[in-house]
Every structure is written in structure tokens, then in C-alpha cells.
Amino acid sequence: MRTPWLITILVLLAVIVPVAQFTDYHLFQLTMVVVYAIAILGLALLIGFNGQISLGHGAFYAIGAYTTAILMTTWNMPYWLTLPFSAVVCAFVGFLLGLPALRLGGLYLALTTFALAVSIPQILKYKAIEDWTGGVQGLVIDKPEAPFGLPLSPDQWLYTFTAAVAVVLYVIAWNIVRGRVGRAMMAIRDHAMAAEAMGINQPVVKTSTFAMSAMYTGLAGSLGAIAVQFVAPDSFGVVVSIFLFVGLIVGGVSSIGGTLIGAAFIEFVPNVADKLSKAAPGAVYGVILIASMFLMPAGAGGFLHAMWRRLMPSRTPTVQAPAAQPGMVADETQTRPPPVMAPQTGFAKEPVARHE
């Protein structure tokens, strides 16, 4: 069977079966998995495909959530209409943050975005914008009903709606990454100077990747706010950013399908680990994060993809794929194995180059 059809059928099943079978609570959990998956997809576009490390994507998640909440409470806008606004706001903020990010090499960008993540709750609590944001109390929003008299409960409808938005976003991301823009993004990640020598406009590609990434994570924030029906500053602390980062690493930094695995991981693992002790989720996250850095650097997505390629040898008939090296970023977008001389993004010594 051809892969696109297989994926289409799987997606349809993933929507229909839960809506028909699951309880409302489990549907809510699945909705959150889809929401996190979109957020992690945004992070993957930036970190995995463009090599810009952000530890602060919780900030964009928060901005998206607040944009939707404010539009719904202050302007009485219907929930679906807030999404385009949220996309524009987050893309714009992402673009603005992408500008200083151009001057900050890897580690410094991680540090700056980490600082952003730590300070975002304080900014949300700020008195001058309290009329809009509801201050420490936050905002409560209504759960949307199914339209056109569809015989669905609000949770069933919300899951269907979120999944539909996710499908659109995934198709867009998949096509961007496989196309010319995606190749430019990855070229910058693998060797910025060589990419520039090939005529890739580095500032334009990097800032627009940042904007797109922020837009994805922001839209996830909007959908998450609608599903949770509540936004408050303290639910957008630095932990959100760290969880998204953990989900990304576990799923595989440059694996589009892996984002779903990462999202399921950050949604369900705390529920299971919580039964052990209050401290367990953090410890489990930390151990798995470090373990996957050492043992499975391409994440679950990269691992499964390598398995898939081994089972489907017909797709790579002539050239034998070079043995995966630790830390090598596996792209499921690659239809051919990379040439042997490809610049390694793995555990190779990188020159310590800093911007002046």
C-alpha cells in the first residue's frame, strides 16, 4: 500500500475511533496530545530543521493562549475566528525575537530564550495589562458547542476540530520541510557558511523559520486554552517550555511524526509517574532526557524511521545507508541516504565560533 493512503486511513481512524468509543475525559487527554504535538512541531521546525535552540517556546504557547482568551472574553469573538489572529500575533512576535536571535549563536540563544521562559509569568501578571489578561486570576472561557446541530458532545467536537486543525498544520509543515525552503533551513543548520555560499539568504530564512515556529506553538496554545477553558500566568511557567523541549528530544528533533510520540510522552508520563511521588515526573523526564541524548539521539521518531527503512528496503535500492552515528540527526524527509561527505551534525567537534 502507498504511504500517503496509509497515513490518511490512520488519521481518519485516529479521529473516528476515539470520538465513537472514548469517554469525555480520555478525549480531553487526546485533545491535549494533539495540542502538544502541534507545539512540539513548531519547536521541531526551529531546533530540528533549522538548528536554532529555543528553551522558551512556552512563551509563544502562552501568547497564543492569551490571544485567544482575550479575544473570546473581551471581544466576544467565536473560538475558531481567534486562530488566525493568534497565528498572526505569534508569528509577528516570533519574527521580532528572531531578529536578535540572528546575532546569538546556539548556546546564547538557548540562554536568552530560557530567560524569556522564566520571566513570562511575571509579564503576564503585569498590572498595566491586567484589564485584558485578568492578572493573577487569569481568564475563564466557554467551551465551544458542536455547530450545525451535529450530535457530538463538546469534548467530541473539540477533539475533531483540534485534529482537523492539526492535519492542516502537519500537511503544511511536511510540504515546507520537503521543499526548497526546508532544504534551505536544513542547509543552514548543517553548515551555515556553506549555505550562504550557495546563495541562501540566511537572515530571511532564519527569521521566517522563527516566525513560523512561533506561529505553530502559538496556535497550539490557542487550541490548548480552548480545551482547558482557562488561562492563568502560573500555568505558563518555565516548566511548559522545558516539557515541550523534553517532548521534542524524546520524539526526535527532526522527525515530524516523532512529535506525536513526544506529545503523548509529555501528556501521559506525568499521569503515570505522579502515582509514585510528586517529585517523580521531573525525575523521570530528566532521566529519559539524558538517556535519549546518550542512547537514542535521533529520538523515538528517528528510531522508528530507521526501523521502517530497514523493513522497506525497496525505497533505498542502490546505495547502502551509512551506519547511523551517535547524535546524527535523522530526517524522515530524506528519501535518499545522505552522501558520505555530508557535513555531520552529530557528535563532531564544532568550531567554537561566536558572533562578535
Question: From the centroid of its chain, how far is CA 95?
Answer: 17
Q: Which is nearer to another protein, 87 or 329 (CB)?
A: 329
Q: Which is nearer to another protein, 24 or 274 (CB)?
A: 274
Residue 195 burial (CB count, 10 A): 21
Q: Which is nearer to another protein, 75 or 347 (CB)?
A: 347
Cell readout for 308 is: 521502517
Give 140's strand partners.
230
Cell readout for 342 is: 555530508
Q: Which is nearer to another protein, 104 or 152 (CB)?
A: 104
User: Which residues, at least 6 apart from 250, have a Cβ–Cβ distance to it below 8 Å?
Assistant: 261, 262, 265, 266, 288, 289, 292, 299, 300
- Smallest separation (angstroms) from another protein to the CB of 194: 10
- Smallest separation (angstroms) from another protein to the CB of 209: 16
- Smallest separation (angstroms) from another protein to the CB of 273: 10
Q: Which is nearer to another protein, 70 or 120 (CB)?
A: 120
- Smallest separation (angstroms) from another protein to the CB of 304: 19
- Smallest separation (angstroms) from another protein to the CB of 207: 14
Residue 316 burial (CB count, 10 A): 15
Alpha helical stretches, state H, the chain:
3-21, 24-47, 57-74, 79-103, 106-124, 130-133, 154-178, 180-190, 192-197, 202-228, 238-251, 258-273, 280-295, 299-311
Q: What does the binding site for another protein look like in residue numbers (CB under 8 A)? A: 47, 51, 53, 55, 100, 103-104, 106-108, 110-112, 114-116, 118-119, 122-123, 125-127, 193, 238, 242, 245-246, 249, 253, 277-283, 285-290, 292-294, 297, 327, 345-356
